[in-house]
């Protein structure tokens, strides 16, 4: 049942509408615009955060293949959080070839790609590519720690643009110089990006140690400009650099790279060698125990300390000894002894 309206409600509503939008003939209030527009104090829209023009339109597609574990999924989500210029897509089937990713990037309007490839449910590979012309690099990802796992004390504004810090070795070697440019274009947030914030409060560091690239994320504290680690962190072991996107001629191949299968095989061989060594030691000890012992020559002076034992005369027993009854029960044995004694008394009497 509809509620009854008051008599003055309709008139009041019309009056409110008339006040909010004055006609052209009415005079505008003091301090407001005189052209009949809405006062800016009540209906003004705040300006955008980035006043400049977004020129460097880099878009990065971050996705993975099927078969990744939970840690890789969390790492991928952390990179999407830290990079406001990134896009996501569904997982790619293992049967598909890698060059299909170029078409996916074209459909998503992305010119850079970070692709995580999982193999044997334990090995993780990362592809960094400039689609569709190239170049591209393939890495083995090791020592992965995510934001939720590290529980660091650092924190930064979501969507803020990072500083990129590189090791000096990136300017000496040509393959590292190529990777540096690739990292700058992928991990650097474009200026005046619509989803970015105009603040610089964290740093991405790329350090080369032990022929591997170590990635770290630090927060810049304003008070003393010290660094506090935020996460995530991981280590990239370079495998190959290709001229094209996800394939093509090989520009560089890491001579220090060792595949995970070979590493696991060497570990198994070392364990087997230790076991074989233990078995050989046991066999040698058994042979030593079974070997003939070297007898020491007899000492002629030992006869002096020998004392001959007394010779006892040999006694020859002519009568067969009486057989003793084997009785387990002691009571029966006593009864038998009593019967024997009674017989002796009767014979004597």
Per the domain annotation, does 329 fall within a domain?
Answer: no
Rounded to whole angstroms, how far apart are CA atoms 214 and 113?
20
Give the residue-averaged pLDDT of 281-289.
89
Q: Is the peptide bond before 135 cis (omega within 30 degrees of 0)?
A: yes
Place of tokens 């198994």: 268
Per the domain annotation, does 315 fall within a domain?
Answer: no
Position with higher pLDDT, 336 vs 48:
336
Per the domain annotation, does 321 fall within a domain?
Answer: no
pLDDT-derived band at 349 (thresholds 50, 70, 90) equals: low
3-state secondary structure (DSSP) of residue 189: coil
Picking from 103, 125, 115, the residue whose alpha carbon sits closest to that of residue 62 is 115
pLDDT of 292 > 70? The answer is: no
Per the domain annotation, does 345 fall within a domain?
Answer: no
Which residues, including other chains, have CB under 8 Å from residue 219's CB and lie 6 or more apart? 154, 155, 156, 201, 202, 227, 228, 229, 230
The CATH code of the domain that includes 142 is 3.40.50.10480
Per the domain annotation, does 148 fall within a domain?
Answer: yes
pLDDT of 328 > 60? The answer is: yes
Structure confidence at residue 251 (pLDDT): 94
Structure confidence at residue 278 (pLDDT): 94
Q: What is the pLDDT of residues 142-167, one digit of tens each?
A: 999 998 887 777 788 888 889 999 99
Give the residue-averaged pLDDT of 189-209.
89
pLDDT of 197 > 70? The answer is: yes
Structure confidence at residue 103 (pLDDT): 92
Per the domain annotation, does 205 fall within a domain?
Answer: yes
What percentage of the chain exceeds 90 in pLDDT?
46
Q: What is the pLDDT of residues 71-130, one digit of tens each?
A: 999 999 999 999 999 999 999 988 888 889 999 999 999 999 999 999 988 899 999 999
> Do the Cβ atoms of 183 and 137 come closer than 8 Å?
no
Structural domain of 187: 58-260
Structure confidence at residue 132 (pLDDT): 86
Place of tokens 């990065």: 60
What is the rounded average pLDDT for all residues in the chain?
A: 82
Q: Give residue 59's region: left, alpha or beta (phi > 0; psi -120 to 50).
A: beta
Residue ranges of E strands in 157-226:
163-166, 202-209, 212-220
Q: What is the pLDDT of residues 213-266, one digit of tens each?
A: 999 999 998 777 888 898 899 999 999 999 999 989 999 999 999 998 999 999
Per the domain annotation, does 181 fall within a domain?
Answer: yes
> Do the Cβ atoms of 216 and 233 come closer than 8 Å?
yes
Q: Would you call 185 exposed, middle or buried from its count of C-beta atoms within 10 A (0-12, 13-18, 19+)?
A: middle
Indicate the number of domains in the chain.
1
Per the domain annotation, does 84 fall within a domain?
Answer: yes
pLDDT of 212 > 60? The answer is: yes
């Amino acid at each position: 049942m509809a509620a009854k309206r008051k008599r003055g409600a309709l008139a009041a509503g019309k009056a409110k509408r008339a006040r909010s939008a004055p006609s052209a003939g009415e005079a505008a209030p003091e301090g407001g615009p005189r052209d009949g527009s809405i006062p800016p104090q009540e209906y003004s829209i705040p300006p955008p955060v980035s006043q400049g023009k977004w020129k460097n339109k880099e878009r990065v597609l971050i996705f993975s293949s099927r078969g990744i574990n939970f840690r890789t999924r969390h790492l991928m989500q952390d990179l999407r959080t830290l990079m406001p210029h990134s896009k996501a897509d569904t997982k790619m089937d293992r049967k598909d070839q890698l060059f299909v990713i170029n078409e996916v990037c074209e459909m998503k309007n992305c010119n850079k790609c970070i692709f995580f490839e999982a193999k044997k449910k334990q090995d993780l590979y990362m592809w960094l590519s400039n689609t569709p012309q190239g170049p591209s690099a393939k890495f083995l990802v090791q020592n992965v720690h995510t934001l939720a796992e590290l529980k660091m004390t650092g924190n930064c504004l979501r969507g803020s643009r990072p500083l990129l810090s590189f090791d000096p070795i990136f300017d000496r070697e040509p393959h590292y110089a190529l990777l540096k440019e690739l990292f700058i274009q992928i991990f650097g947030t474009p200026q005046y990006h619509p989803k970015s914030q105009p603040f610089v409060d964290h740093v991405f560091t790329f350090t080369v140690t032990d022929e591997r690239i170590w990635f770290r994320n630090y927060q810049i504290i304003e008070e003393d400009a010290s660094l506090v680690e935020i996460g995530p962190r991981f280590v990239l072991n370079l495998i190959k650099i290709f001229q094209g996107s996800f394939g093509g001629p090989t520009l560089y191949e890491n001579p220090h790279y060792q595949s995970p299968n070979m590493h696991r095989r060497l570990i198994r061989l070392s364990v087997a060698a230790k076991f074989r060594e233990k078995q050989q030691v046991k066999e040698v000890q058994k042979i030593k125990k079974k070997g003939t012992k070297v007898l020491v020559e007899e000492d002629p002076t030992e006869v002096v300390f020998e004392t001959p034992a007394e010779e006892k005369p040999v006694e020859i027993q002519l009568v067969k000894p009486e057989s003793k009854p084997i009785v387990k029960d002691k009571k029966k044995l006593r009864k038998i002894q009593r019967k024997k004694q009674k017989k002796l008394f009767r014979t004597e009497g």
